[in-house]
Structure 1
Amino acid sequence: MTSRAVPHAATPFDPFALQRPTAEPLPLIADSPHSGLKYPADFGYALPFDELRAGEDTDVDVLWQALPAVGGTLLAAEFPRSYIDPNRDAADLDAALLDGPWPGELKPSEKTRLGIGLVWRDAGHDGRQPIYSRKLSVAEVQARIATYHAPYQRTLLEEIEQAFQRHGAVWHLNLHSMPANSYEGLQIQTDKPLADVVLGNHDGRTCSEEFTQLVAEAMRRRGLGVAFNDPFKGVALIARIGRPAERRHSLQIELHRGLYMNEATRERSAGFPALQQALGGVAAELADYVRQQTRG
């Protein structure tokens, strides 16, 4: 398959694609924050493009394309996470990247320490190659937030809130893929193999156990191995959204990239159609559950 990635896309462009339900609308809201393939012309990266692309969750939005047909809403970023990451808080920023003081409080997380905070410091197939040969201006980072990050997060939160107001409950799926060397990239020493699917709910704090297990069983019935919160628990976005005691559920779903792509070239592998079909079945099961939960 020919790459759809655009290394120097004309700016600005729409920060996201929003697919609304084509069936009876359900309070099932999904987002793919890291599948963007349009690299803005003002990025100014110094890393070879094929190394920079290693951070993409390439084609995750396509793998889950059945969601609107079963009543779900699917939001997908058009910009790359390495440019600015919509799955991070706006204060999760590395001050060392900047050419001047940030006009506000910064709250760098563990992701920033690893070089993958709001604005990435490092990328590459080993996750350790510097993206820039320059400092970033405060103004350009502010522009990235205003043009891409803020509209994405605002739209996602609006869709979730509107669904909750209509139905009295909402289920949010935060959709990702993970490289084969995820443990290494997170600086975790282990001999455990990476699961096919990792479900993250902050150790039960962002999503009910019932829904988490429903997703796990739907995956397992399709031959996929499932792990929970290992090595990904979910980050700030699902922590902000998920309050299961209030019927607000948020679950991160990570798919092993080896199931569907060649990680070196980003091209779809022979396993892509089967995984896409399997996830279509998972989406239908989740929609049935949400429908039952909201019809009283």
Structure 2
Amino acid sequence: MDYQFKAGGIPLLVSMPHVGTDIPDDIAARFTPGALDKPDTDWHLVQLYDFLQEMGASTLSARWSRYVIDLNRPPENTNLYPGQDTTGLCPLDTFHREPLYQDGQQPDEAEVQRRLAAYWKPYHDQLRAELDRLLHLHGRVVLWDAHSIASIVPRFFEGKLPDLNFGTADGASCAPALTETIAGLAQAHGGYTVAVNGRFKGGHITRHYGKPERGVHGIQLEMCQSTYMNETLPFAYRDDLAARVQPLLRQLTQAAADWTRQ
């Protein structure tokens, strides 16, 4: 399978498009040694969100590395942040501008189209199908797009990123009342810095599927990896840190599901 999927019963689907670490052999053979470390992976999110199955939420997580194809970029590869530096649909470099491919081994447009069909489309077909199923069952559904990133990436932002970064496409992908509920709980917790529609406003998944007028409320959470893991090789999970943030994540996702029933 090109993804891991578990269907739940509550009106909440949690998508994790950047947790994948697999790279097909023919692509891996063309990568640099640094690329094979996969430093820009959203490490350990499946473990961090392991309470979701008990909650009854649906979960969808990627198998393939974002270096193969980025599931959170539009298929046309348009820039989600015009005027700002971002990585593309089939990235050519890491977040620190280190090349992914050996010289002359970058994919051409025909290969990009093949990867779209082989690796991008199956994830999105499953995402669409599960949203439709949950909408049919409940009438409203929350799509929670779960991400994490190193807390300091000068290419994309100055200084240290806030710990919890919620994005709703500047309010277009999610009802304001839900955003206020989630952000309010995160701020009231007091243990983490919080931003709403700051540097991260939600990627393609949040923007494309989040249609409040149709009953789908999309919200992205981009977390600093320093909240739950070591940010340097070998990118180890930190049980001590995770134990602090997991209860808050559970509270937030449960509140999102509960909100749909109001």
8 Å Cα contact 2:141/2:257 also seen in 1: no
In the alignment, what sits opposite 2:207?
239
- Inter-CA distance 283–227: structure 2 relative to 1 (3 Å threshold): same
- Which of 248, 257, 261 does residue 278 from structure 1 map onto? 248
1:59 to 2:44 alignment: yes
1:259 to 2:236 alignment: no
In the alignment, what sits opposite 1:195?
162
In the alignment, what sits opposite 1:36?
20
In the alignment, what sits opposite 1:78?
63
CA RMSD of superposed structures (Å): 2.3
Cα distance per residue 1:14-67 (max 9 Å; x no partner): 21000222xxx1221110000012222122343224674121001112211222
8 Å Cα contact 1:52/1:131 also seen in 2: no
In the alignment, what sits opposite 1:118?
89
1:185 to 2:155 alignment: yes
Structure 2-normalised TM-score?
Answer: 0.88
User: What is the 5 A alignment of 1:1-296?
Assistant: 14-21=1-8, 25-43=9-27, 44-49=29-34, 52-92=37-77, 107=78, 110=81, 114=85, 116-123=87-94, 127-132=96-101, 133=103, 134-182=105-153, 184-186=154-156, 188=157, 190=158, 193-222=160-189, 223-265=191-233, 266-269=235-238, 270-290=240-260, 292-293=261-262
Identity within the alignment, %: 27
Secondary structure of residue in 2 paired with 1:150:
helix
Which stretch shifts more, 66-75 or 170-179? 66-75
Q: CA deviation at 1:109?
A: 5.2
8 Å Cα contact 2:14/2:143 also seen in 1: yes
8 Å Cα contact 2:140/2:215 also seen in 1: yes
CA distance in 2 between partners of 1:91 and 1:114 (Å): 17
Q: CA deviation at 1:142?
A: 2.8
8 Å Cα contact 1:112/1:118 also seen in 2: no
CA distance in 1 between partners of 2:30 and 2:85 (Å): 18
CA distance in 2 between partners of 1:50 and 1:260 (Å): 23
Structure 1-normalised TM-score?
Answer: 0.79
Secondary structure of residue in 2 paired with 1:147:
helix
Number of residues paired by the alignment?
Answer: 256
CA distance in 1 between partners of 2:92 and 2:35 (Å): 16
CA distance in 1 between partners of 2:245 and 2:176 (Å): 24
Secondary structure of residue in 1 paired with 2:221:
strand
Cα distance per residue 1:121-166 (max 9 Å; x no partner): 111xx52011112232444333322221100011101111221122
Hey, which bits of structure 1, 4+ residues long, moved more than 6 A?
A: none
Q: Which has the larger radius of gyration?
A: 1
Which stretch shifts more, 42-51 or 108-117? 108-117
Secondary structure of residue in 2 paired with 1:54:
coil
8 Å Cα contact 1:82/1:116 also seen in 2: no
Cα distance per residue 1:198-239 (max 9 Å; x no partner): 000111111111111222233234422210111101122211
8 Å Cα contact 1:238/1:250 also seen in 2: yes
8 Å Cα contact 1:71/1:287 also seen in 2: no
Cα distance per residue 1:244-293 (max 9 Å; x no partner): 23322100111111111111121112312332343223333333333x33
